[in-house]
Amino acid sequence: MAGPTGAPDRISQCCYQHALTKDAIFCGECGKPLLRCMAYQECGGLVGEDGCCSVCVRPQLFLDKDAVTDVKAGGVLVLPLVFYNASSIARPLFVTDVWVREGDGPRRRIELPWKRLDAGGSNRLTVQTGALERQGRHGIEITFAAATNYFMREERFAFTSSLGLEVEQGGSLVINQTINASGVGSGGDTVYAPIRLETMADSGRKVADTGGKAAELGLQRADNFEASQGIRGYGDGALKGSVVSRGARIVWKGFGDQTPAAGPITTGDSILAIGRGKAVSEGGDNHLQLLAYGADGKLDEQLSQAISRRHIELFIQSGRLCARVTGSAGIKIGDHKHGADDAIALINHGDIINVLPKFPEAVGLQVRMRANHGQIDEITITRVPALPEANSR
Ligand SMILES: [Zn+2]
Ligand SMILES: [Zn+2]
């Protein structure tokens, strides 16, 4: 059984093959950019625009075999849920929040007695519904947020399971679930076997007839929910509710004859390193070499020395552009100074990253993004001051 919405099938096998070639940035067969998981070194996983690695992030949700409805208490349904981490590498998943929604009612946050879900491990959570009507259909939606970590980085996602409950005339309760498969090449909707809760005549209770096993509940990525709750994307400012696509093109401007080609982040660690060290194209290991120039256009050797060889790392994390400072001089964004020991800095539209806080006019990176229907597909990073296109040095 595949993970959420059959995720492992979304990335073509040809891309995995071509990604094995170090420094490969496009698949030689289908031409798609190779977007590697932040933990690629460990998992070998590729991600789509949604940023979710199906090797690292494979939650599964089950309804345990002892689900019961308590008829005496007015038809309350007790759902014993089992969260399972099906990651094939030893990557834990952190379930941070669980919400339950009945019908069109509000989402209710369920208190979690646990958080960490080790690979191959499971945790239980019992959820109780309100009183069910005797007849008719009821919808129950179980949504949860989960995080995966790799060193200092973290990706967060939300998944949801929609259950349709139907009380049959004989009093039996049937749980139906249909997943709208949206993956490319999928064979349409996935229909799971209904879960039947039969009446036990003597006790007046109903128990799930799941053949003595826990029944798997279908999971779907809840991308709208992620954006509206700030689980992914920007939670405030002009880009509130918008999510940077993992495949967003980075467009560089004002870097003179050193301007890198525009494109998504396709490096092995999904990081763009920037600093005084040489660019990859010149035998170094930075994506972009950053040096300071004087007003006369000549290289300022002394000021350039204040820029560390690897000064900033840019990457997309949980649908936001982020920067980690690795340079000793730090950076400044607006009035905030960020040093190498500080948490990852969130980069917003309009921000100017001052590469040398003590000399803010020396080298700046101005970041611009625009959202289209809540998705950011392009990020423009402009050097201020800009270097002349044909820079002579
Ligand atoms: Zn391919
Ligand atoms: Zn991964």
Domain ranges of the chain: 4-43, 59-227, 233-387
Ligand 1 centroid distance, CA of 298 (Å): 44
Do 59-227 and 233-387 fold alike per CATH? no
Ligand 2 centroid distance, CA of 62 (Å): 23
Q: DSSP 3-state assignment of 226?
A: helix
Tokens representing 130 are 């309100």
Between CA 288 and CA 253 the distance in angstroms is 12
Helix, strand, coil fractions of the chain, as percent rounded to 5: 10, 45, 45
Ligand 1 centroid distance, CA of 8 (Å): 14
> Rounded to whole angstroms, what are the CA distances from 29 to 33, 34, 36, 65, 181?
11, 11, 17, 46, 25
Give pLDDT, residue 35. Answer: 97
Ligand 2 centroid distance, CA of 387 (Å): 38
Pick the CATH number of 59-227 from 1.20.58, 3.40.50, 2.60.40, 2.30.29: 2.60.40
Which ligand is closest to the CA of 13, given by its number? 1
Which ligand is closest to the CA of 90, given by its number? 2
Ligand 2 centroid distance, CA of 16 (Å): 12
Pick the CATH number of 233-387 from 3.40.190.10, 3.40.50.300, 1.10.600.10, 2.60.200.20: 2.60.200.20
Ligand 1 centroid distance, CA of 28 (Å): 7
Q: Of the candidates 382, 361, 367, 365, which has an alpha carbon nearest to the alpha carbon of residue 294?
A: 361
Which ligand is closest to the CA of 27, given by its number? 1
Give pLDDT, residue 195. Answer: 83
Which ligand is closest to the CA of 52, given by its number? 2
Q: DSSP 3-state assignment of 338?
A: strand
21 secondary structure, DSSP code = S
What residue type is 68 in one-letter code?
Answer: V
> Rounded to whole angstroms, what are the CA distances from 323 to 96, 137, 272, 294?
24, 48, 9, 26
pLDDT 10s per residue in the chain (393 long)?
A: 344 444 444 799 999 999 999 889 999 999 999 999 999 999 999 999 999 999 999 999 999 877 776 655 567 788 899 999 999 998 999 999 999 999 889 999 999 999 999 999 999 999 988 877 666 778 899 999 999 999 999 999 999 999 988 877 766 778 888 776 554 344 567 777 788 776 554 555 666 666 667 889 999 999 999 999 999 999 998 999 999 999 999 999 999 988 999 999 999 999 999 999 999 989 999 999 999 999 888 999 999 999 999 999 999 999 999 999 999 999 999 999 999 888 899 999 999 999 999 999 999 999 999 999 999 999 999 999 999 876 444
Give pLDDT, residue 186. Answer: 44
What are the phi and psi torsion angles at 357 (to 5°)?
A: -55, -30
Give pLDDT, residue 3. Answer: 40
Ligand 2 centroid distance, CA of 199 (Å): 44
